[in-house]
Amino acid sequence: MLASEGVAGFTTRRVAAAASTSTPAVYELFGDKAGLLRELFFEGFRQLRRYYEAAPLSDDPIEDVVALTRLYRRFATENPQLMRMMFSQPFAAFDPGPDEARAGGEIRELIVDRIRRAVDAGALEGDETDIAHGLLALMVGLGDAEAASRLGRSKASVDRRWDQTVRALLRGHAPSTAP
| Contact between residue 166 and residue 66 where contact means Cβ atoms under 8 Å apart | yes
Confidence of residue 164 (pLDDT cuts 50, 70, 90): very high
DSSP 104-136: HHHHHHHHHHHHHHHHHTTS--S-HHHHHHHHH
Q: What is the mean pLDDT of residues 58-85?
A: 92
Percent of the residues in the chain that have a pLDDT greater than 90, as a whole number? 46
Q: What pLDDT does residue 93 have?
A: 57
Mean per-residue pLDDT over the chain, rounded: 86
Fold topology of 34-171? Tetracycline Repressor; domain 2 (1.10.357)
Tell me which H or E stretch contains 65.
Answer: helix 61-78
5-42 pLDDT, tens digit per residue, is 766 777 788 888 888 988 888 888 888 877 787 788 78
Higher pLDDT, 6 or 72: 72
pLDDT above 90 for 125: yes
Report domain extents, the chain: 34-171
Which residues 6+ apart lie within 8 Å of 172 measured at CB?
A: none
Q: What pLDDT does residue 74 have?
A: 94
Confidence of residue 116 (pLDDT cuts 50, 70, 90): very high
Q: What is the pTM of this model?
A: 0.80
pLDDT above 90 for 79: no
Q: What pLDDT does residue 95 have?
A: 63
What 3-state class would DSSP assign to 18? helix
- 64 HSE (CA, 13 A, CB side): 23
Higher pLDDT, 159 or 90: 159
- CA dihedral defined by 34, 37, 41, 46, rounded to 10 degrees? 110
Q: How far apart are CA 131 and CA 10, in angstroms?
A: 35
pLDDT above 60 for 90: no
